Structure formats: structure tokens, C-alpha cells
Amino acid sequence: MARSNETFGKKEKEKKKLQKRKEKEAKKAARKENLEKGGMDSMMAYVDENGMITDTPPDPNQKKVEIDASSITIGVPKQEHVEGDDSPLEGRVSFFNDDKGYGFIKDKGSPESYFVHINNVAEPITEGDNVTFELERGPKGMVAIDVKKVEK
């Protein structure tokens, strides 16, 4: 007796291929039918005046509001002054490393701690010194500048 060239696995693969082909043809026919029924209008979405997505087109008779494009601000406006008054702040040096040339000053008026670099110090400071300073925006936040030691 001769053996069949098709094994059980081959037959199953052929059945699956045929099934997928039929499913694909059915989906294609359904898409074509939908396109003929509603056309492109059934797939459209609109945005109303509140920014919500709807399926109804806007009313052409509705009065449109004109907006001056120059009054729209994109982003955050730059701050003119960091502090309300230009008087120097007072604080205490909580940490300072002479070898590396940087430290931190704890503000007396708030719980904030500010970075200070040796280049922004008028005279040598050490940990525990009372100082006056001003603030400037640095690359990673507020930085103390014009740091001066206060005598007790």
C-alpha cells in the first residue's frame, strides 16, 4: 500500500489557511458594504466648541467667536522678579565643602535651602555662619549669589 503524501499536520495547515482566507473575504465584504451605506461621513469625527469629540457636524448658522491670536500665551511667562522686594535674604550655612567649593544655605524666612558656589561668595564662609544673600535662577533651581557673612 502506498502512503498518502499529505500528513495530518499538512491537512490541518491547509484547513487553517482556507479558514483565514474566508474570514478575510468576509471582512472585506463587510467593509465594502459599510462604505456603500454611510460612506466617509460615518467615519468622520468633529470637535465642538468645548473641545469634545462628537459625531455630529457643527451648525453652519451658529455665530462664530473671533479670538485675537496675539492675546494667546503659549508656555509660561517669564518672571520679572524672584522676590517681591530686592532686600537681601538672611540665612545660615547648613553645609559647605571648601575642597569642592560649594554648599547650601538654609533660609531663615522659609524652609527652603539654596545652593551656593564659592564664586558667588564675597568672603570665606564655613558651616554655621549667618549670611545675607540674594537669589538668582540657576540651571537646576534657585542659587544664592552675593553671599556676605553677618556679624552676630
Range of the domain at 29: 10-57
Q: What is the pLDDT of residue 4?
A: 65
53 and 98 in a common domain = no
138 domain residue, yes or no: yes
Average pLDDT value for residue range 51-64: 84
41 domain residue, yes or no: yes
pLDDT digits (tens, 9 = 90+) for 69-80: 888 888 876 655
Average pLDDT value for residue range 58-64: 81
Instruction: Identify the weakest region by mean pLDDT among 19-33, 79-93, 110-124, 131-145.
Output: 79-93
84 domain residue, yes or no: no
68 domain residue, yes or no: no
102 domain residue, yes or no: yes
Q: pLDDT band at residue 40, thresholds of 50, 70 and 90?
A: low
47 and 93 in a common domain = no
Cβ neighbors of 26 (< 8 A, separation 6 or more) are none
23 domain residue, yes or no: yes
76 domain residue, yes or no: no
Q: pLDDT band at residue 1, thresholds of 50, 70 and 90?
A: low
Average pLDDT value for residue range 7-33: 91
The structural domain count of the chain equals 2
Q: pLDDT band at residue 125, thresholds of 50, 70 and 90?
A: very high
Encode 101-132: b = buried (16+ Cβ within 10 Å), e = exposed: ebbbbebeeeeeebebeeebbeeebeeebebb
Average pLDDT value for residue range 106-134: 92
93 and 44 in a common domain = no
43 domain residue, yes or no: yes
Q: Is the pLDDT of residue 85 over 70?
A: no
Q: Is the pLDDT of residue 41 over 80?
A: no
Q: pLDDT band at residue 104, thresholds of 50, 70 and 90?
A: very high
Q: Which residue has the higher pLDDT, 16 or 87?
A: 16
